[in-house]
Amino acid sequence: MSARRDPEVAEHTVPILHWFSLDRRRFLKLFGGGLLVAAASPDASAFAQESGRARQSQELPKDLAAWLHIDKDGKVTVFTGKVEVGQNIRTSLAQQVAEELRVGVDTIRMVMGDTDLVPWDAGTFGSRTTPTMGPQLRAVAATARETLLDLAAARWNVSRDGLTAAGGKITDPASKRSISYGELTRGEELVKTLPSEGATVPVTPASEWKIAGTQVPKVDGREFVTGAHRYASDMTRPGMLHGKVLRAPAYETKLTSLETARAQAIPGVKVVRDGDFAGVVAPDPHSAELALAALAATWTEPPAQPSNKTIFEYFKRNADVGEDRSEPRVKGSVDEGLKSAEVTLSKNYTVEYIAHAPLEPRAAVAEWAPAGDKLTVWTGTQRPFAVREELATAFRIPSDKVRVLVPDTGSAYGGKHTGDAAVEAARLSKAAGKPVKVVWTREEEFEWAYLRPGGLIEVKSGARKDGSLVAWEYHNYNSGPAGIGTPYDVANQKIQFHPVKSPLRQGSYRALAATANHFARESHMSELAHAVGMDPLAFRMKNLSEARLKAVFEAAAEKFGWARRKSSSGRGFGIAGGVEKGGYIALCAEVEVEGGKTGGRVRIRRVAAAFECGAIVNPNGLRNQVEGAIVQGIGGALFEAIRFENGRMLNPHFSQYRLPRFPDVPAIDLVLLDRKDLPSAGAGETPIVGLAPAVAAGIFEATGERRRGLPLEGLAT
């Protein structure tokens, strides 16, 4: 681990930048002519600038990344390293290309997450697709459109200024001539590179969108309702075997002996051992399961490791060890602020580790070329290029000898950044000499996939009796720095993230630590409002000058009827909000607590939320994301928690790890604020952060009990 790194930045940084080489022969082989819009790699950009003449003679610079192709029939293919995991970007990106190219969405084919075909990409996370890939593809498509206008103008020998692009055709209104994109590109081998950075491509402003900004249905929705779509776990290859990996009984144990005779005796079974890695392959999954069960392994005793009982103390004691620490963000003086405060509060908040539990577990099919020099893997991951590196490293082969393909995946929520199943399938396939599929069991998902970090958060604050916030000190141990800052106006603040070496494997989760940090911050704001005797919404508004956040608070409160709410014993209301990854959320919740009692079971009856993320690309898709995030958030808010002890998960089954189901879902009223004057931001993550603190505040109104730990219903036993 590098010194003083910001874990969130590190998570988003992948050092190696590869572009596939695209020479003319390859261009023809891949595309058979037509118009290609490409971008030069950083290394090739100098070359491209100097070689304008070379391009005129149709010599391609090497190292071009292809983004968009139009074939002789006018069919458009778009290449992107982003992947579809349910967030609907296959559709929303196609809409944006269709918008700029002035074609129907149905003429567009999106090639996504195939490392041999698409430009390098860091991965699909951080709500980056909409703010970065959207504009990139709009620029690419607009470049294609402008090129087509140039081509038509040259063909007709007229000025391009009067020509229009619409409906997949270029039209000259003066002569009433028109020509389709396909006719224009037929027989051509045109490569157009994107203008260099700084040069402008005329893209269509959101206020003029006709296809983007509308409720285009999911482009391949039919595949999902008919069961025809093939996820990675549905892939098959000729001669494919099924693999299973032997798992350790706990973290921090080593394989000491392995007896394989009984497993090897099952017809068609082969056992593979490589250090601590052991697995089996068989002609069918059933035999593979039997073979795995027939392995007799012994392991070293796991050392003593923390449990749920000791974990928060562990975080505090093991924070900031060695070089791995981050600096506090300081503004003014918290000490001075506290001195001027009339009301002070100091409270701790906790969050447990939780699991992503994507319904499609990790899965991969790996196939080595007969000579063993090229590896192809189909797998469900958010980071195809990172998985390519992982495979190249694991097998000590160059990364251009590895191809990773990501079929649209059965969800991820931040949980599929790694290539665990891909490496396992490739290792088994290498030994078996045949393609191998590995699909993790649910138990393996819970035990060996990584988790949303647990965390301890300490907040100390001060306010004046008129409700003005004067001091804010905030320490987050282990859960993460995302969303750690406060959007409220506080002159004196100290905010710090304290990294800890987690005893459990942890990583990204939808919205990262913003969920934990919003829970702590917004819960504390509600407590402080109560302490100064103010309405929790009025207290927030008094300390808030960020107009976009104020707007969602107002919209959510109005939709909910916040001003008219009447709490009673057993029934309470809460409000919370925040800004993260360019999205603004405010949420009101009505909750019931069984018997109005301390520790009672909680039901969320009604939620009203307002969300704003700039110009909306697909209103129905956005609504689906916001609703889905709120519903997913119910689990982490109320009942999800990994129970663990000495490196073992104690509840690795759906029967023991409760997830939100139909009866848990409240009525949800949504307000989506469409800001066509602002760039579009992503929406897959931020809407999850508002629910937990709003529900916690509602529980207080209903019972007088402050619950400061997620899940709010405590650990099930």
Partner 1 sequence: MASTLLTVNGKSQRVDTPPDETLLSVLRNRLDLIGTKYGCGEGQCGACMVLLDGQATPSCQTPISEAAGKKIVTIEGLAQNGRLHPVQAAFLETEAFQCGYCTSGMIVASVALLKSNPNPSPENIAETLSRNLCRCGTYLRILAAVQSAAKKGAVK
- d(CA 379, CA 429) in angstroms, rounded, equals 14
Among 41, 77, 411, 418, binds partner 1 (CB under 8 A): 411
Among 308, 441, 567, 646, binds partner 1 (CB under 8 A): 441
What residues are paired with 531 via a beta bridge?
none
Block residue for tokens 């697709």: 129
- d(CA 155, CA 150) in angstroms, rounded, equals 9
Among 14, 531, 551, 665, binds partner 1 (CB under 8 A): 665
Helix or strand or coil: residue 526? helix
* Helix/strand/coil (H/E/C) assignment for every residue in 201-236: CCCCCHHHCCCCCCCCCCCCHHHHHCCCCCCHHHCC
**Least separation in angstroms between CB 446 and partner 1:** 10
**Binding segment for partner 1 among 4-12, 49-57, 94-102, 221-229 (CB under 8 A)?**
221-229
236 CB-near residues (< 8 Å, 6+ apart): 365, 437
Among 85, 122, 280, 649, binds partner 1 (CB under 8 A): 85
The angle, 0 to 180 degrees and rounded to 10, between the axes of the packed helices 134-156 and 89-101 is 30
Instruction: By CB under 8 A, tell whether 106 contacts partner 1.
Output: no
Instruction: By CB under 8 A, tell whether 409 contacts partner 1.
Output: yes
Strand boundaries in 74-226, DSSP class E? 76-80, 108-112, 164-166, 169-172, 177-180, 189-193
Side by side, the strands of the sheet bearing 164-166 are: 164-166, 169-172, 177-180
Residue-wise DSSP of 240-257: -EEEEE---SSTT--EEE
97 CB-near residues (< 8 Å, 6+ apart): 68, 76, 78, 108, 137, 138, 140, 141
Helix or strand or coil: residue 671? strand
Helix or strand or coil: residue 403? strand
**Least separation in angstroms between CB 410 and partner 1:** 3
Instruction: By CB under 8 A, tell whether 686 contacts partner 1.
Output: no
Instruction: By CB under 8 A, tell whether 625 contacts partner 1.
Output: yes
Instruction: By CB under 8 A, tell whether 167 contacts partner 1.
Output: no
Q: How many residues bind partner 1 (CB under 8 A)?
A: 60
Instruction: By CB under 8 A, tell whether 382 contacts partner 1.
Output: no
Among 320, 336, 627, 705, binds partner 1 (CB under 8 A): 627
Instruction: By CB under 8 A, tell whether 359 contacts partner 1.
Output: yes
Among 210, 286, 464, 601, binds partner 1 (CB under 8 A): 286
Helix or strand or coil: residue 644? strand
Nearer to partner 1, 234 or 324 (CB): 234
Instruction: By CB under 8 A, tell whether 252 contacts partner 1.
Output: no
**Least separation in angstroms between CB 629 and partner 1:** 7
**Least separation in angstroms between CB 104 and partner 1:** 19
Which of 196, 198, 40, 59 shows the shortest CA–CA distance to 120?
40
Among 56, 257, 655, 717, binds partner 1 (CB under 8 A): 655
Among 38, 133, 248, 629, binds partner 1 (CB under 8 A): 629
Instruction: By CB under 8 A, tell whether 238 contacts partner 1.
Output: no
Instruction: Say how many CA atoms lie within 13 Å of 201 toward its Cβ.
Output: 23
Q: DSSP code of 540?
A: H
Instruction: By CB under 8 A, tell whether 549 contacts partner 1.
Output: no
User: Which positions from 266 to 285 touch partner 1 by CB under 8 A, shown as an x/- string?
Assistant: ------------------xx
- What token pair was written down for 573? 């209301």
**Binding segment for partner 1 among 138-146, 312-320, 472-480, 628-636 (CB under 8 A)?**
628-636
**Binding segment for partner 1 among 105-113, 142-150, 335-343, 408-416 (CB under 8 A)?**
408-416
Which of 38, 164, 161 shows the shortest CA–CA distance to 101?
164
**Least separation in angstroms between CB 170 and partner 1:** 34
Helix or strand or coil: residue 269? coil
C-alpha 323 chain-centroid distance: 28
Instruction: By CB under 8 A, tell whether 92 contacts partner 1.
Output: no
**Least separation in angstroms between CB 228 and partner 1:** 7
Among 230, 339, 501, 597, binds partner 1 (CB under 8 A): 230
Nearer to partner 1, 541 or 695 (CB): 695
- What token pair was written down for 387? 């998985």
Residues making contact with partner 1 (CB under 8 A): 85-88, 217-218, 221-231, 233-234, 236, 242, 284-287, 290, 357-361, 408-411, 413, 439, 441-442, 620-621, 624-625, 627-632, 634, 653-655, 659-663, 665, 668
